[in-house]
Every structure is written in C-alpha cells, then in structure tokens.
Chain A
C-alpha cells in the first residue's frame, strides 16, 4: 500500500461548460496536515466533495486508501466515507438535535453500541474539543466558534483516518481561530489521522500545516512546505502571501473591454 492515503491524479472537473479543475495532481501522505489554498471560487471546496465522492470527476481520478472513488458503487462510497470526517464551513450541525445527539448521530447510525457506551464516547469527544459542558444545548444556542468545535467533535466521532476541514477559520475571532488551529493539529497527531484543510487564511495556516498546495486557474500553481513557499519568488505565491490586490490573480473577473462596454450602454 502506498503511503499516500489520498491521491488526486490528473483530475478535471467542471459544471457545464465552466471548467473548474484542469488536471490537478495532489498527494496527501498519512499522518500529515495538508492545506489546499487558493482564492475564492478556485474550486477548493469542490476538491473536498470530489474526495468524498459527492461529485464525479470529468477526467482523472481520486484515490482514497488505494481505491478509485468514482468507480465505487453506493455501498463502496459509503464504506470510504466511514473513514472520513468532514467539518463544514459553518459546522452544519443538525438544528433539530441537541449538541449531545449531534455528536452521537454517526455512532447511532453506524454502530450498534449500547446507549451507555455511546454516552461515554460522546462525552470523550466533547471533552476533546473542550465543550463537554455544552452537551445539553441546542445548536441555535451556540456561538460560531462553539458550533464549529461541536461539528469537529461530530466529525471525529467514528475516529476517521481522514479529516477534512472546509474553511475552518471563516468568520471567527482570533481567539476561536487559535483554538481551532490547536485542535486541528492535536487531533491529527493524537488520532494518527490525515488532515486536509481548505482555507485562504494564509498566516494562520502557515503556522501549523506540514505541506501546502496553491490552486489557481484550475491547476496546482505552487506547492511546498510553508517555509519553502514563504521564500518562493513565484509571482502568484508572492501575491497571495502578501495579499496584493492585483497581480497574476487579476482584480477583474473576465469582462469585455471597459470602454467599449460603457459605450455600448450609452448607445442602447
């Protein structure tokens, strides 16, 4: 078996005529925390959905644990997903269930454990994210940072081999952000899992990940360890790391010539 738990080989994907990915190659070694970075709309979240088998690639393949995801039948995909935990952008907690039931949900669905054991496991997971005291609250009573930590407890409920994070820092204050950063790193090392973090939060990310992929224009524009990328002279990386407004990533969305556009408006 290879040492890469997830491999993306020459992957292309698009909605209709819009091509989002044009031959992406990535490798995610076991036990590492890997970040996928890129501007908004560069298809980072879509990559996670492709890994989870919620979308089918138009070309190429995604291999999880040596198996090609889109060639699995429904049962096969579900078996692969049992090895994955995913933290959605805003947590995606089930609003009609309490915090406790949210964390217990995957256990109740996939195991036949007695309720007393589920209770112990749920409290363990909640303790790991520091929110054991919130177990009787409803999701509507939680702050943004708290609900993301609960969602993290739910994502690791079945001790997954792969944990995926979709924009884990979006909309959080610096303290909550620091808490999440610590959790991602610690959980990864304690569980011996592999973490894939999709984000555009450059400074937070560079502080704790092992490897970074930059996605732009549907391909991997740059890759390397945080230190390598900081030193990189590639214009794209430079722009992203330093947050310049214009550069290889244009400020403007594809549009016809500005002057012609205005002229047409006056004529019509």
Chain B
C-alpha cells in the first residue's frame, strides 16, 4: 500500500518536473527565436512573406467560411432572445460585441491551431526526422534563423489579420440574417452597433488578444515540431499535442487577458 502510494506520488512528481522542464525549454526556444531574428533582416522578411502564404493565405478559406456561419448563427440566436424583451434592434450590438471581444480572436486562434499549427509542427518534425535541420547546421546555417524565425513571424502577423477578417465577415453574416431575413432596419443595426462598440475598449483589445494568441499558437506549434522525437510516431504525437496545448493555452490566456482588460 505504502509502496503504491510512493510510486503514484513519484509518478506525479516526475510528470510535474517534466512539464516544468519543457516549459523552460520552450521559453529558451522563444528567446532564441527572438535573438536569431536579427541575424539577416532582409532574408528574414523575404522568408516571412513566403511563410505567410502557408500560414495566412491557406487558412483564409476555413476562417472566412466559419466566420460567416458563426455570424449568421449569432444573428438568429440573438434575434430570438432579444425580441422577447422587445429589443430586437440590438441584435447588431450583440453580434458585433461577441465577435470583436471574444469569438473573433478565440475561434480564429482555435482554427489556426488546427489548420496552420498542425502543418507547422508536422513540417518541422519531418525536417528534423529526415535530418534536414542537422544538414542545415552542418552547412553553417542556423536552423532557428533560417527555418523557425520566419514561420514564427508569419504566424504572429497573420493571426491578428485573420481575426480581424473573421470579425468583419461574422458581422456581415449577422447583418445578412438580421436585415434581409428578419427585417430589422439596416440603419438601427449599424448605428446601435456603433454607439456600443468602443474602438479602444473592444476593437483594440480584440487585436491585442489575437496578437497574444498568435504568439502562443505559433510558438507551441514550432516548439512541438522542433522538440518531437525523430520518428513517425513522435511527429504524429507532437501534432496532436500542438492542437491540445494550443487550444488550452488560447482559452486560458483568453480568461487571463479578459479579466485583466475588464479590471483596467
């Protein structure tokens, strides 16, 4: 009995230490990316643009389609609830505030982790497995500067842009449901929205959120790939971990950021 308890405790302790260790390694990894980002600025910009095609442009379709549907559902649900209290006109406010404050940054980040994050992890993991990163190092080219940093900046730049597009398209989706379908006046839809959505408190904070999510999701995806055991199984596990860890990080950070933003 005692032996089993010690064993369990040791297991917990081992896992805990492992987690902390990985967190520390990830933090060092982040620091190395930042430091290596100054190596060859012109090359970095060129490569970042190149990577933004993979992280940004290729994520567009899923982001925009999801945004349209999320906006339309918000419009329908919001209208149904609000009209009971006789304030169906406020449906625009509801749609816009939910999107700009929460759903835009959060859902975009979750979709990004699934679409671009997994692709990054698998790519880096495979480059490691096939010794491409080692080969680069042997050619006196730093893989952090050449491979990791451009993907990092591409993710960090893409995320706020994607989130802004998500919110905008979502609002348009809400508009499509509310105005032509449910017959709410277009003027009051927009004007109520404008009086209630504050530029600094809502929009800027939303952008800040998506920026933070961009850093978190990209770092997690890159780190899991870079840290993956160089086997097929290792890479597939790393890809799963990217989705799980990114989602948890996004939701956790969202709570932290929201509580901070509300209290300030």
A contact set with B: CB distance below 8 Å: 52, 54, 77-79, 81-82, 84, 86, 88-90, 92-96, 105-106, 109-110, 151
B131 contacts which chain A residues (CB < 8 A)? 88-90, 92
The majority secondary structure among interface residues of chain B is helix
Extra contacts besides A82-B140, A105-B141 (8): CB < 8 Å: A54-B138, A81-B139, A88-B131, A92-B135, A96-B123, A106-B139, A106-B141, A110-B140
Interface pair B132/A92, CB less than 8 Å apart: yes
| CB pairs A–B below 8 angstroms (8 shown) | A54-B137, A54-B138, A81-B139, A89-B131, A90-B130, A92-B134, A92-B135, A96-B123
A90 contacts which chain B residues (CB < 8 A)? 130-131
A103 to chain B, nearest CB (A): 12
Does B126 sit within 8 A of A, measured CB to CB? yes
Query: For the complex, what is the distance from the CA of A81 to the CA of B131, rounded to whole Å?
Result: 16
- How many residues of chain B have a CB within 8 Å of chain A? 15
A171 to chain B, nearest CB (A): 14
B134 contacts which chain A residues (CB < 8 A)? 54, 88, 92
Does B215 sit within 8 A of A, measured CB to CB? no
Interface residues of B in 126-170 (CB under 8 A from A): 126-127, 130-132, 134-141, 146
Query: For the complex, what is the distance from the CA of A163 to the CA of B117, rounded to whole Å?
Result: 37
Query: For the complex, what is the distance from the CA of A124 to the CA of B115, rounded to whole Å?
Result: 41
Interface pair B130/A84, CB less than 8 Å apart: no
A92 contacts which chain B residues (CB < 8 A)? 130-132, 134-135
B11 to chain A, nearest CB (A): 21
Query: For the complex, what is the distance from the CA of A95 to the CA of B131, rounded to whole Å?
Result: 11
A88 contacts which chain B residues (CB < 8 A)? 131, 134-135
B135 contacts which chain A residues (CB < 8 A)? 86, 88, 92, 94, 151
For A158, the closest partner residue in chain B by CB is B139
Interface pair A84/B126, CB less than 8 Å apart: no
Query: For the complex, what is the distance from the CA of A96 to the CA of B150, rounded to whole Å?
Result: 14
Q: Which of B127, B130, B135, B140 has the most CB of A within 10 A?
A: B140
B199 to chain A, nearest CB (A): 41
A138 to chain B, nearest CB (A): 14
Query: For the complex, what is the distance from the CA of A54 to the CA of B139, rounded to whole Å?
Result: 11
Say whether, besides A54-B134, A88-B134, A95 and B139 are in contact (CB < 8 Å). Answer: no
